[in-house]
Amino acid sequence: MNIKFTVQVIVLAIIAYWVITAFDEALDLVVFQWFGLDKNKISSWAIVGTIGIVILLALLYAFNIEAHDVIGIGEAVDVQLTGQTESVRRGRIVHDTRYSR
């Protein structure tokens, strides 16, 4: 077991969480100020969440990313569920059905 590597991964994960949280708060404040929303109302958070989902879906569509990749379902699970493998050809994701169950 490599303790040094484990500690490095934990430190990087903490820093990544800190950076993501900071940018999340900044984006939330931008939306709250832009639309004049109250941070203490649930309806305001529902609006922020809806805007986030719309942006996520637009990015998935624009960059041709499959949603399961974003939520952490790996390629091995995708192959088991769909029976298709993926490969990147000329910058595009191509599905191949040669895999048999």
- The dihedral through the CA atoms of 47, 48, 52, 55 has a sign that is positive
pLDDT in tens, 35-76: 999 999 999 999 999 998 999 899 888 987 777 667 666 666
Distance of CA 85 to the CA centre of its chain: 21
pLDDT value of residue 76? 67
Q: Are residues 51 and 72 in the same domain?
A: no
Has residue 2 got a pLDDT over 90?
A: no
User: Do residues 42 and 91 both lie within one domain?
Assistant: no
Looking at the 3D structure of the chain, how many domains does it have?
2
pTM listed for this prediction:
0.58
Q: 3-state class of 52 per DSSP?
A: helix
Tell me the pLDDT band of 98, cut-offs 50, 70 and 90: low
Q: What is the mean pLDDT of the chain?
A: 83
* 58 & 78 share domain: no
Mark whether 51 and 9 lie in a shared domain. yes
User: What pLDDT is stored for residue 60 in this prediction?
Assistant: 86
List the domain range (segments joined by +) for residue 73: 68-101
In 3D, which of 86, 76, 64, 79 has the Cα closest to residue 96?
A: 86
In angstroms, rounded to a whole number, what is the distance separating the alpha carbons of residues 61 and 54? Answer: 11
